[in-house]
Amino acid sequence: MKQGKRIVIVGGGIGGLTAATAIAQAGMHAVLLESAPVFGEIGAGVTLSPNAMKGLDHIGICEEVAAAGIEPSRQRIQHWQDDRILVPMERASQRAKYGAPYVTVHRADLHKLLVDAAVRSGVELRTDAGVVDTAGTSAILASGERVEGEALIGADGVKSVVRRRFESGPAIFTGHVAWRAMAPVDDSIRALTEYPGIHIGPGRMITRYGVRGNAWLNMVFFARQEGWTDEGWTIPAEPAELAATYAGWGDDVQALIAAASRQPLFKWAINARSPLPDWVVDARVALLGDAAHAMTPFLGHGAASAIEDAVVLARALAAAADVPEGLRRYVDARHDRATFIQAESNANADRMQGQDSEMFGLGQMRDEESLGLFTYDCRTVPV
């Protein structure tokens, strides 16, 4: 496609920033609209598997992100009751095996590197640009201003405004809630920070991993829970509820809960979306990331999928004769994989939170690596 085409991206999260940067680097004019007053993400962790890091390599920041994060040498899945290891997973050979590292990183650190890359690449970044509606390929801001482009891309998350062009229904509550906390590492949790770990048990699971040189431990506690459907990153939670939810779990879990209870603790309902048959409407409007395929977090692949979408979208637009062809190439290249990951994420919730945790260590496991997700390369997949 001819250089200079104006592409409007709604949403300044991981997927939106990656897409805007990749599109700008391909010679197009990327305009990124973010509703927040500044570009930044809530302080929490994110896991980036090798396939995600290949996407960040495409925009030139793979090694910067790896340096800001941690490349763990191992990971463990543990039993809820006595902390015994059910499944050991080695991560030290990821670079040699897949051509990119496996990284855990503070989301705010990743976001800053993405913003810096966007600035260097000439992306037109606009904050305080909340989109309330769309028309054609225009994003309509709360001020009434119309921001027009030759394509409109919705990267605005599970509550996407752009997705209203595809369906009118809201996101679906999955029946899962999560608590998250970041704790400074002290002697009470130091041993648990040496490697990422997941505790699994009936109807519940916990994931943990270090960030910022293992000076901080990121923790997320998941549980099946009805009757509470508030969704958001900054809803305060009561430590007593968290402790009660995991009463009877092992010593490692109790240490995690104690550490989380000493820090700001947040709770949110996990919402997702049903798969769409197509991510393009009116030939020039498309979705990516959670706006296209919001999924449960039980494969840890939401961010990776958004990054893959972003790079493939930019490559498809660059390779095509015009915008409609580019968006069609993008969806044809991405739809099957993302829909598969959506389905496997949901299925993994049942596997990891089953009533018989011992069985998970006896062949029931289907994680990112065993599913072959790490081998994917968004830099070279045909578009």
Tokens of 117: 């890359």
Given a cut of 60, whether residue 363 has pLDDT beyond it is: no
**Residue 138, in any domain of the structure:** yes
Q: Which residues pair with 76 in a beta bridge?
A: 88, 197
- What does the pLDDT read at residue 121? 98
- What does the pLDDT read at residue 273? 87
Highest-confidence range of 317-326, 349-358, 367-376, by mean pLDDT? Answer: 317-326
Q: What is the pLDDT of residues 233-266, one digit of tens each?
A: 678 999 999 999 999 999 999 999 999 999 999 9
CATH number at residue 67: 3.50.50.60
In angstroms, the CA 209 to CA 331 distance is: 33
**Residue 100, in any domain of the structure:** yes
More confident position, 140 or 42: 140
Give the H/E segment covering residue 111: helix 107-120
Q: Which residue is associated with the tokens 């396939």?
A: 51
High-pLDDT (> 70) share of the chain, %: 95
Task: Give residue 244's identity as a one-letter amino acid code.
Answer: A
**Residue 26, in any domain of the structure:** yes
**Residue 120, in any domain of the structure:** yes
**Residue 150, in any domain of the structure:** yes
Give the range of the structural domain holding residue 24, as residue numbers without chain letter. Answer: 6-72+94-168+273-350
Q: What is the pLDDT of residues 320-341, one digit of tens each?
A: 999 999 999 999 999 999 999 9
| Count of domains observed in the chain | 1
Q: What is the pLDDT of residues 17-68, one digit of tens each?
A: 999 999 999 999 999 999 999 877 667 899 999 999 999 999 999 999 999 9
- What does the pLDDT read at residue 360? 64
Q: What is the pLDDT of residues 152-190, one digit of tens each?
A: 999 999 999 999 999 988 888 999 999 999 999 999 999
Give the H/E segment covering residue 325: helix 323-352
Given a cut of 80, whether residue 196 has pLDDT beyond it is: yes
pTM strictly above 0.85: yes
Residue 334 φ then ψ, to 5°: -115, -25
In angstroms, the CA 19 to CA 118 distance is: 9
- What does the pLDDT read at residue 243? 98
**Residue 233, in any domain of the structure:** no
**Residue 77, in any domain of the structure:** no
In angstroms, the CA 97 to CA 311 distance is: 22
- What does the pLDDT read at residue 349? 82
**Residue 369, in any domain of the structure:** no
